[in-house]
Structures are given as structure tokens and as C-alpha cells.
Amino acid sequence: MLLKKAFLAIALFLSLSVFSQELNCNVTIIAPQIANVEASRIENIESSIQEFMNGRRWTEDFYDLDERIECSMQITINEAPSQTTFRGSIQIQSSRPVYNSDYNTPIFTVNDNDFTFTFADNQIVQWSNDQHRDNLSSVLAYYAYIIIGMDYDTFSAQGGTDHYLMAQTIVANAQNAGESGWRASEGQRNRFWLVENILSQTFAPLRNCLYRYHRHGMDKLYSDPGSARNEIIEGLLTLKEVHKVRPSSYNIQLFFVAKSDEIINLFTPAPAEEKERIISLLRLLDPGNIQKYDNMMS
């Protein structure tokens, strides 16, 4: 009997670790200007979203508990036209560990200002991959697949394609939704264009950069920092191909929103010649942060 119990305990542990969900998502909701909604309702929404993100399996792949993708969502509610309707923004961030270190490198950061959703008392967030049930579940599922896709792209060359295709399907299903953010005609900086660009051949160098930057750069930084920095530079050089065709594109901007501070920290202690090389490139690719990059030489 003791042997049987021990076997069952081991089997339970293995099932929990092997079939663990992909995301470890921390969800925070703030409503600084909303007075007509009780705090308990906000807390209910927050816990329901966190359960939705972390409590389901988004892929068929096997994850250990410590392999889950670290990410966060901060939802800011600016308006509540009713007790069940909310408008605001959602900021998403994700990161992944760097090999042989305790450092997590940022992968994805976006602030989506087209976020409107409804939520009733004690509602369970539900989602179906073949239809647009509601805006809340579609936005959350969309960003779950973007997070997973980008994480996979950092571990294998263009490894996130299947997950981006799922995000693109969510966009297609939402074309007749009343809420904004899903359609090509609504601007160049929305959910439609984010995944459309990712899957475009024009942006293949960006996806290849994600792989080279992380797998051949960051993951080797602690064993051979000089070679790792060179790999990072070579990865960033490929972005010039995208810049020629789509200068100041949304996806390139998002890349540097996540990476600019890290790049500065990596190259500030580098030799002057190396810094000059990277700064010249960064001035071209990310002109909005020229002053920050120039400060690396001081």
C-alpha cells in the first residue's frame, strides 16, 4: 500500500510538471479615475483574467513548472460607462531567462490603447479558437499566442510561426467585432498589423534577429561576452533590411521598446570601437532614442 501511494504521488508530480501550462502571467488592474465601480468587482476581473491566462494550456507542448514563460499584464481602466462595460488600455510584457545566469531578458513590451470589454458578476472568461465570443477573451488569447510565439522565436529560428498563426486566426474571427484594434483600416499600430507584420516575409529578418540576439548572443554572454556582443550586433545589422522597406515600422519600434535599455547596459562597458559600431547602427534603426545611445560614449 505504501508503495502504491508513493507511485501515485510520483505520478501526480510528473503530470503536474510535464503538463504544466505555458504562462506564468501576473495580472494587475488599476482604475485610478473610476468611482462608480466597486473595488471587489475590479478584483474579481483581475483574478478571472489571471486564471484564464495561467489556467489553460495554449499549446500541445510539454512544460515543466519552472519553464513557464514569465509575463505580465497591467490593465488601466479609464472609463466605466456601465457596471459591466470598461474602456482603457492593456500593457503586456514578457521575458525569458538567459542561460547560465539569473537574468531575465525582456522579449516583448506593448501598450494597447484599444481595449474595451464587458464583464459581468462572477463571469468566467471563456474562449474558442473558431469564433469571436467577446473582446476580452479574444484580446487575452491573442496576446497569449504572441507572447508564446515570440518566446519560441528566441529559442529556434522562426520557431513561433504556429502560434502567430493562431493569433492571426483570432484577428480574422474578430473582423466584424464592434470593438477597435482588429482591422487594417484602423491604423498601423494595432493588433492586426502586429501579427500581419510578424508573418510577412518583409519582417523575417526581425524574427531571425530575435533568434540570433538571444540564442547566440544573450545565452553566451556569460561564457564569452565579446563574441556574444558581436553576435548581437550581427543580429541587429539584419534589421537594416527591414528598415530599408519599412522605416520606423511598428514591429521595429516595439523591438527597441523592449531592448533599448538592455542594449545600452550591454555595450556601455564595451571597447570604444565596438560602441561606435553599435551606436551608428542604433541611430539608424531607433532614432527616437539617439540621445540615450550617444550617452554610451560619455
Return d(Cα 41, Cα 118) in angstroms, integer.
12
Query: Which residues does residue 110 pair with via DSSP β-bridges, in sequence order?
Result: 92
Across the range 38-62, mean pLDDT stands at: 93
pLDDT of residue 39: 85
Question: If you average pLDDT over residues 23-44, what whole number do you get?
Answer: 90
pLDDT band, residue 35 (cuts 50/70/90): confident
**pLDDT by residue (tens digit) across 200-252?**
999 999 999 999 999 999 999 999 999 999 999 999 999 999 999 999 999 99
Q: What are phi and psi of 167, to 5 degrees?
A: -65, -40
pLDDT of residue 19: 54
Q: Which helix (H) or strand (E) holds 216?
A: none
- Asked if 108 and 94 touch (Cβ cutoff 8 Å), the reply is yes
Burial group, residue 141, by CB count within 10 angstroms (0-12, 13-18, 19+): buried
The reported pTM is 0.92
CA pair distance 30, 113, nearest whole angstrom: 14
Reply yes or no on whether the pLDDT at 7 is more than 80. no
100 in the Ramachandran plot: left (φ > 0), alpha (ψ -120 to 50) or beta?
Answer: left
Helix, strand and coil percent figures for the chain, each rounded to 5: 55, 15, 30
CA–CA gap between residue 243 and residue 278 (Å, rounded): 16
Of the listed ranges 34-48, 125-139, 171-185, 210-224, the least confidently predicted one is 34-48
- H helix intervals, the chain: 2-18, 39-54, 135-155, 161-173, 191-199, 204-211, 225-237, 239-245, 250-267, 272-285, 290-294
Say whether pLDDT at 14 is over 80: no
The pLDDT-based confidence of 4 (bands split at 50, 70, 90) is: very low
DSSP-derived 3-state class of residue 97: strand
Confidence of residue 17 (pLDDT cuts 50, 70, 90): very low
pLDDT of residue 13: 42
Q: How far apart are CA 133 and CA 17, in angstroms?
A: 31
Residue-level pLDDT at 172: 97
Averaged pLDDT score across all residues of the chain: 92
How much is the pLDDT for 297? 79
> pLDDT, tens digit, for every residue of 104-137?
999 999 999 999 999 998 889 999 889 999 999 9
Q: What values do phi and psi take at 129, rounded to 5?
A: -80, 0
pLDDT of residue 2: 43
